[in-house]
Amino acid sequence: MTSQEESMISSFSPSLWALARKRLARDAIGLLSLLVVVFFILMSLGSYFGFLAKNWDQEVAINYAPPTWLATNQESVSALQAPIPPRSQIDLYGQTDPLAPLLDELEAHNPQDINSPPDQQKVNHLVFGADKWGRSVILKTIKGSETSILVGLVAALVATAIGTVLGALSGYFGGWVDDFLNWFYNVFTAIPYLLLIFAIAAVLNQKGVSTIILILGLTGWTGVYRLIRAEYLKHRHREYVLAAKAMGASHYRRMFIHILPNTLHVILVQLSINVVGFIKSEVILSFLGFGVPVEVVSWGSMLNEAQNELVLGIWWQLVAAGVAMALLVTAFSVLTDALRDALDPKVVA
């Protein structure tokens, strides 16, 4: 066989994904959204591995430093530059602080907690302002993306995978498998959502990102299950599936090689809806105290802080987290939409 023939034969079978890649490359909006999503993922990875926003928790500015590029508000700067008397032991009328030795010990162990830069060295404004402790909002948003994207993506993948597999089993086999899974689904959805989340949180009994992922992943599969089951019910008697059966294809092959690509449009849309929903759910969970621990920052915890600040007219933390979230969520929806079109050979790109 000549090399030309070989290349011809290898080009016979451009898989669905190869075709999708080609089509996506032609879709300008889809490509843009892909870039945005990749940018966010790289950003969160960067912060996870310490390339970005490593020093996000340094209190570099005065508290609630306003966002500006211009050095305004000279008076307040000079007022702030006035010498502040050094911290000294308050005279407690002869009483000694019972905690003093403990405090001294702690201070000796963690000098950075005490020796935070004096306010004279703190800047009085930042590019996008500072939070209550004078931390840069931009760095905080970057650090927060780590948690939010991880939670949103992984939990959505878990939920969609569970929903797809159960839905496929239920719709494809029917009969008692379907009855049993339907019963399970009904029981599951009959429990109020928040109650269910609390129950799972109570069972897991630890705070952290992985807990949130588990909670959301284990509770969020129901919508996907319902839709995928319906798709499989529709497809299992289609002639192409019967033809595969006549060809001797196994159940597994028929379910996941033949039918699954034909339900991709549903799965992708559900995935995108779930990512969006779970990023928001993380906010709710954090607000309810089941979210990430205090020392971890996420867009959810930022929004949670922002509601108190907003009353004081301090809007930058809300805007930063909100814009980041809106950008990612929109880009992700557009991307899955573009993917859905790219994966459907019938749609003329």
Partner 1 sequence: MSTSLLQVQDLSVYFKEAQGTKQVLNKVSFSVDRGQTVALVGESGSGKSVSALAIMGLLPTDLAEIEVNSQINWQGNNILHLAKEQHRKLRGRHIGMIFQDPMSSLNPVMSVGEQLIEGIQLHLGLSARQAYERAIALLTEVGIPEPERRIHAYPHELSGGQQQRVMIAMAICGEPQLLIADEPTTALDVTIQRQILELIKLLTKERHMAVLFITHDLALVGEFADQVVVMRQGVVRELGDTEHIFKEAVDSYTKALLLCRPSLTHRPLHLPVVEEMMMMKSDRNTASHQEERQRGIRPTDEMVMRVRKVSKNFVQQDGLFKRKDFFAVKEVSCDIYRGKTLGIVGESGSGKTTLGLMLSGIIPMSSGTIEYHEELKKLEGSPALIQIVFQNPYASLNPRFTVFQILEEPLLLHRPDLRVEQRAEEVVALMHLVGLNESMLSRYPHEFSGGQRQRIAIARCIALKPTILVCDESVSALDVSVQAQILNLLQDLQDRFNISLIFISHDLSVVRYMSDEIMVMYQGTVVEKGNSDQIIAHPQQPYTQNLITSIPKGYAI
Q: Which one of 75, 91, 113, 239 is in contact with partner 1 (CB under 8 A)?
A: 239
Shortest distance (Å) from residue 233 CB to partner 1: 16
Q: Can residue 70 be called a binding residue for partner 1 (CB under 8 A)?
A: no
Q: Can residue 79 be called a binding residue for partner 1 (CB under 8 A)?
A: no
Q: Which one of 31, 196, 233, 249 is in contact with partner 1 (CB under 8 A)?
A: 249
Q: Which of residues 287-346 bind partner 1 (CB under 8 A)?
A: 343, 345-346
Name the 3-class secondary structure at 273. helix
Task: Choose between 253 and 280: whose C-beta lies nearer to partner 1.
Answer: 253
Strand partners, 123: 61
Q: Which one of 157, 245, 287, 327 is in contact with partner 1 (CB under 8 A)?
A: 245
Task: Choose between 1 and 70: whose C-beta lies nearer to partner 1.
Answer: 1
Q: Can residue 348 be called a binding residue for partner 1 (CB under 8 A)?
A: yes
CA 178 to centroid of chain Cα atoms: 32
CA 236 to centroid of chain Cα atoms: 34
Task: Choose between 69 and 252: whose C-beta lies nearer to partner 1.
Answer: 252
CA distance 132 to 311: 14
> Which residues are CB-neighbours of 221 under 8 A, at least 6 positions away?
158, 159, 160, 162, 163, 166
Q: Can residue 14 be called a binding residue for partner 1 (CB under 8 A)?
A: yes
Shortest distance (Å) from residue 234 CB to partner 1: 12
Q: Can residue 179 be called a binding residue for partner 1 (CB under 8 A)?
A: no
Q: Are 154 and 161 in contact (CB under 8 A)?
A: no
> Which residues are CB-neighbours of 265 under 8 A, at least 6 positions away?
340, 343, 344
Q: Can residue 242 be called a binding residue for partner 1 (CB under 8 A)?
A: yes
Q: Are 33 and 338 in contact (CB under 8 A)?
A: yes
Range 155-192 burial, b when 16+ CB lie within 10 A, else e: bbbbbbebbbbbbbbbbbeeeeebeebeeebeeeeeee
> Within 13 Å, how many C-alpha atoms sit on residue 33's CB side?
20
Q: Can residue 11 be called a binding residue for partner 1 (CB under 8 A)?
A: yes
Handedness of CA 197, 203, 208, 214 (dihedral sign): negative
CA distance 3 to 156: 44
> Which residues are CB-neighbours of 32 under 8 A, at least 6 positions away?
331, 334
Pattern of binders to partner 1 over 250-289, x per CB under 8 A? ---x----x--xx-x-------------------------
CA distance 170 to 162: 12
Q: Which of residues 115-154 bind partner 1 (CB under 8 A)?
A: none
Q: Which one of 82, 247, 311, 312 is in contact with partner 1 (CB under 8 A)?
A: 247
Q: Residues touching partner 1: how many (CB under 8 A)?
A: 28
Pattern of binders to partner 1 over 209-238, x per CB under 8 A? -----------------------------x
Count of helices and strands (H, E) across the chain: 16, 0
Shortest distance (Å) from residue 1 CB to partner 1: 6
Task: Choose between 125 and 235: whose C-beta lies nearer to partner 1.
Answer: 235
Q: Which one of 2, 7, 12, 92 is in contact with partner 1 (CB under 8 A)?
A: 12
Q: Can residue 92 be called a binding residue for partner 1 (CB under 8 A)?
A: no
Task: Choose between 101 and 345: whose C-beta lies nearer to partner 1.
Answer: 345
The token pair that represents 63 in the structure block: 């508290």
Q: Can residue 22 be called a binding residue for partner 1 (CB under 8 A)?
A: no
CA distance 182 to 192: 17
- The window from 44-52, 193-201, 217-225, 239-247 that contacts partner 1 (CB under 8 A) reads 239-247
Angle between helices 316-343 and 16-26 (to 10 degrees): 120
Q: Can residue 16 be called a binding residue for partner 1 (CB under 8 A)?
A: yes
For binding to partner 1 (CB under 8 A), which residues are involved? 1, 6, 9, 11-14, 16, 238-240, 242-249, 253, 258, 261-262, 264, 343, 345-346, 348
